[in-house]
């Protein structure tokens, strides 16, 4: 029998394993990769992580509830393109202006969130009301969402968002641009919701055993629908941030981010079976992927090494999960 | 303990699954503070009946009169709101969260800060600890995920959960299947205590001795109909077995009309 304190330490390490791995990996790179250990590099890792980290919030919530959302990447691109078309000054942009000019920040944010929420609501309708498989429904949305982006833009791009929006990508606080802080704040806010509110608790319960949750009087359908809408809106937020960062949108904006997001979510400790995961862990997973990518860039290795390593890491993450479960079983 | 209006009256409850008639018109009463043991062979329709009363399934026909009012529950949440608690045969626990989260499933204690409901973990843990120790169950850590607990501990959590929440009517579908001798004894005592508070109890069991130990009345279901409804004092295990197997399937004089 192990002491309570001993057990608490082990539990803590297991719960935050990905953070320990992140620290170890960053330390390793700092010693071995020349010019890796710099504030500028670390700030860049955080900045790079902005979009995947934001997408990962919504995806994690849905996976924790026992569902799947493949549409987040396309929803992000769609929201970015809508913002680009409405507010960018050149390309396909209409260059709308508002008075006073700063109004563009809340208005464009609201539009991006609404675009995401609408796609999320459509996913929710098919999954919850028509009882269709979430994997297929969101795969369809992934495809038609991207198609809609191309159709809306005619395959062209929108450039030059006004300075009132751009400052979010340019101004820095502690060397990190404001858009990255937005994604960190969103992560913390949803981590709080997941851990400390009944909504978050119910997500875990539904992901663990939907029948038991239903019998306990939890309105499973409403919860699921809300989560799909939320995941869509959060993808809309990612699109808003991405449009600001790139000062507009292109038809192929963010292609491939879905798989990075999935990798980060799994590495961050979210179980694809549902019912298990923490958002701070997922954020660490995103940082871990970005750290490795940065190291590979600095070493001058070809970019496809990143993919090889990231693929391997997903496998290791799943393996680690099995080990963690085995250790926990011994603790109980 | 004979109240004029029963707590729950089932009147001609039928349930079809496609062409299969699981229940072919079930009628009996459950009084306040009365323990009714529901017996029957496998597949007789006991679990289906429990699911109908608890709102998990809707009957194809028939009426439920609860506290003098006709009711129909379209979800467990509605039945629960009306004061009907259920312990299911296949346990209703979420093994991915800890004991406290399971104990308060769907009824978490929250405190609002700026309108945002925040879970009160300490309060919930204290209440869970009290309920578990009152029942004499030992669980090493309430913060352990339920997946690491034994079958007996899991069942104990479920039983303690319904005792804690009370209600007006309690449905127990084979509640002691995974319990040891001592825990079962405590469980049976618990049922008597609950009934003494005026709560109606329906318990499904396969074990005749348990039924006689705890029940005021025994209702036997056979092939979707009530094959017997007798006071536990007025019958014997042998007679009940014959009702279950159908050897003595006859219009019994001790039908509900007389029992009332």
Q: B161 lies in a domain?
A: yes
Cα A117 to Cα A148: distance, rounded to the nearest angstrom: 16
C-alpha closest to that of B170 among B27, B65, B30: B30
Decide: A96 and A219 in contact? Cβ < 8 Å.
Answer: no
Does the structure show a pLDDT above 60 at B254? no
Q: Which of residues 11-70 of B touch A (CB under 8 A)?
A: 54, 56
C-beta atoms of B106 and A328 within 8 A = no
Q: pLDDT band for A322, please (50, 70, 90 cuts).
A: confident
Q: Which fold has domain A4-331?
A: ABC transporter involved in vitamin B12 uptake, BtuC (1.10.3470)
Domain-located, residue B73 = yes
Q: Is the pLDDT of residue A192 over 50?
A: yes
**What is the predicted pLDDT for the residue at A300?**
84
Residues B103 and B189 reside in one and the same domain: no
What pLDDT digit, counting tens, does each position of A207-250 carry?
Answer: 999 999 998 889 999 999 999 999 999 999 999 999 999 999 99
The answer to whether residue A271 scores a pLDDT higher than 80 is yes
Q: Which residues contact A263 (CB under 8 A, 6 or more apart)?
A: A285, A289, A310, A311, A313, A314
Residues B78 and B184 both lie in one domain: yes
Asked if A129 is an interface residue toward chain B (Cβ–Cβ < 8 A), one would say no
B88, part of any domain:
no
pLDDT, residue A320, reads 79
Pairwise CB contact (< 8 Å): A209 & B94: yes
Which is higher by pLDDT, B10 or B134?
A: B10
| Same domain for B54 and B2 | yes
Q: How confident is the model at residue A143 (pLDDT cuts 50, 70, 90)?
A: very high
Inter-residue contact A121 to A236 (CB < 8 Å): no
**Residue A185, Cβ density class (10 Å: 0-12 exposed, 13-18 middle, ≥19 buried):** exposed
Q: How confident is the model at residue B258 (pLDDT cuts 50, 70, 90)?
A: very low
How buried is A81 (Cβ within 10 angstroms: 0-12 exposed, 13-18 middle, 19+ buried)? buried
Q: Is A323 on the interface with B (CB under 8 A)?
A: no
Within this chain, do residues B61 and B190 fall inside the same structural domain, yes or no? yes
Say yes or no for a CB contact (<8 Å) between A275 and B76.
Answer: no
**Do residues B66 and B186 share a domain?**
yes
Is pLDDT at A78 greater than 50 in this prediction?
A: yes
Q: Specify the pLDDT at position B131.
A: 84
pLDDT tens-digit profile of B92-144? 899 899 999 999 998 899 999 988 999 999 999 999 998 888 777 778 788 88
Residue B142 lies in a domain: yes
User: How do residues B168-225 score in pLDDT, each as one tens digit?
Assistant: 898 988 888 777 787 788 788 888 888 888 889 999 988 888 888 889 999 998 888 8
Quick one: closest CA in A to B102, which residue? A205
Share of chain A above pLDDT 70, in %: 99
Q: Which of B91, B106, B148 sits opposite A328 (nearest CB)?
A: B148
B179 and B74: one domain?
A: yes
Do residues B37 and B105 share a domain?
Answer: no
Nearest residue in B to A273, CA atom: B96
Separation CA A73–CA A263 (nearest Å): 14
**Mind giving me the DSSP string for B212-231?**
HHH-SEEEEEETTEEEEEEE
Q: Domains of chain A: which residue ranges?
A: 4-331
Is the separation of the CB atoms in A17 and A324 below 8 Å? yes
Least Cα distance to A260 among A61, A54, A65 occurs for A54
Residues B76, B192 within the same domain: yes
Among B150, B165, B180, residue at a domain's last position = B165
Q: Do B3 and B67 have their domain in common?
A: yes
Residue where a domain stops, chosen among B114, B141, B165: B165
Mutate to test the interface with B, among A192, A195, A203, A209 (most CBs of B within 10 A): A209
Q: Is A77:A110 a contact under the CB 8 Å cutoff?
A: no
Contact A197 B110 (CB under 8 A): yes
Q: Is the same domain home to B79 and B172? A: yes
Show residues of chain A in contact with B77, CB under 8 Å.
217-219
A205, B117: Cβ pair inside 8 Å? no
Question: Does the residue B202 lie in any domain?
Answer: yes
Distance of alpha carbon A126 from alpha carbon B109, whole angstroms? 33
- The verdict on B157 and B241 lying in the same domain is no
A207 at interface of B, judged by CB pairs closer than 8 A: yes
> Which band of pLDDT confidence, cut at 50, 70 and 90, is reported for residue A107?
very high
Nearest to B118 among A196, A215, A275 (CB): A196
Residue where one domain finishes, among candidates B130, B165, B200: B165
B162 interfaces chain A, CB cutoff of 8 Å: no
- A11, A66, A191, A215: best mutation site toward chain B, by most B Cβ within 10 Å? A215
Q: How many domains does chain B have?
A: 2
Q: Answer whether residue B214 is part of any domain.
A: yes
B12, B35: one domain = yes
Q: Do B93 and A212 touch (CB under 8 A)?
A: yes
- ipTM score of complex: 0.82
Residue with tokens 């219009």: B251
d(CA A309, CA B5): 72
Structural domain including B240 reads 1-83+168-260
**CB within 8 Å: B92 and A211:** yes
């Amino acid at each position: 029998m192990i002491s309570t304190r001993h057990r608490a330490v082990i539990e803590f390490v297991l719960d935050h394993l990905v953070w320990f791995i992140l620290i170890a990996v960053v330390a390793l790179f700092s010693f071995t990769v020349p010019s890796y250990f710099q504030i500028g590099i670390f700030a860049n890792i955080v900045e790079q992580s902005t979009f995947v980290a934001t997408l990962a919030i919504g995806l994690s919530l849905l996976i924790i509830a026992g569902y799947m959302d493949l549409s987040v990447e396309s929803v992000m691109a769609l929201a970015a393109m809508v913002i680009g078309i409405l507010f960018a000054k050149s390309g396909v942009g209409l260059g709308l202006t508002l008075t006073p000019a700063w109004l563009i920040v809340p208005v464009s944010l609201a539009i991006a969130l609404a675009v995401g929420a609408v796609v999320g609501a459509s996913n929710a309708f098919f999954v919850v009301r028509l009882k269709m498989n979430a994997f297929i429904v969101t795969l369809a949305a992934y495809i038609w969402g991207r198609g809609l982006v191309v159709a809306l833009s005619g395959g062209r791009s929108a450039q030059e968002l006004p300075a009132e929006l751009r400052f979010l990508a340019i101004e820095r606080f502690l060397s990190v641009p404001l858009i990255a802080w937005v994604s960190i704040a969103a992560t913390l806010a949803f981590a709080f919701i997941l851990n400390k509110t009944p909504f978050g608790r119910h997500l875990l319960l539904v992901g663990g055993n939907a029948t038991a949750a239903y019998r306990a009087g939890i309105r499973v359908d409403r919860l699921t629908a809300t989560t799909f809408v939320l995941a869509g809106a959060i993808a809309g937020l990612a699109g808003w941030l991405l449009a600001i960062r790139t000062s507009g949108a292109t038809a192929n904006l963010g292609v491939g981010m879905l798989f990075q997001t999935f990798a980060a979510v799994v590495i961050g400790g979210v179980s694809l079976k549902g019912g298990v995961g923490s958002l701070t862990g997922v954020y660490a997973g995103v940082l871990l992927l970005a750290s490795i990518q940065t190291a590979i860039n600095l070493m001058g290795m070809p970019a496809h090494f990143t993919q090889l390593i990231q693929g391997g890491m997903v496998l290791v993450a799943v393996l680690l999960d099995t080990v963690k479960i085995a250790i926990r079983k011994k603790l109980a | 303990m004979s109240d004029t209006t029963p707590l729950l009256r089932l009147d001609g409850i039928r349930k079809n699954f496609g062409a299969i008639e699981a229940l072919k018109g079930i009628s009996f009463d459950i009084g306040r503070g009365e323990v009714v043991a529901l017996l029957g062979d496998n597949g007789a329709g006991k679990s289906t009946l429990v699911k109908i009363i608890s709102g998990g399934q809707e009957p194809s026909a028939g009426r439920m009169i609860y506290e003098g009012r006709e009711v129909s529950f379209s979800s467990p949440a509605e039945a629960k709101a009306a004061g009907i608690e259920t312990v299911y045969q296949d346990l209703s626990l979420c093994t991915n969260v800890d004991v406290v989260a399971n104990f308060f499933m769907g009824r978490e204690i929250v405190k609002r800060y700026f309108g945002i409901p925040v879970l009160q973990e300490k309060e919930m843990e204290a209440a869970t600890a009290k309920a578990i120790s009152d029942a004499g169950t030992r669980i090493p850590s309430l913060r352990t995920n339920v997946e690491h607990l034994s079958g007996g501990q899991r069942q104990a959590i479920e039983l303690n959960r319904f005792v804690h929440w009370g209600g007006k009517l309690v449905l127990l579908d084979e509640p002691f299947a995974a319990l040891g001798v001592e825990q079962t004894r405590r469980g049976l005592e618990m049922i008597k205590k609950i009934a003494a508070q005026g709560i109606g109890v329906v318990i499904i069991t396969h074990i005749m001795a348990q039924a006689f130990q705890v029940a005021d009345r025994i209702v036997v279901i056979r092939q979707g109909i009530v094959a017997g409804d007798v006071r536990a004092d007025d019958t014997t295990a042998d007679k009940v077995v014959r009702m279950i197997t159908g050897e003595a399937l006859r219009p019994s004089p001790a039908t509900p009309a007389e029992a009332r």
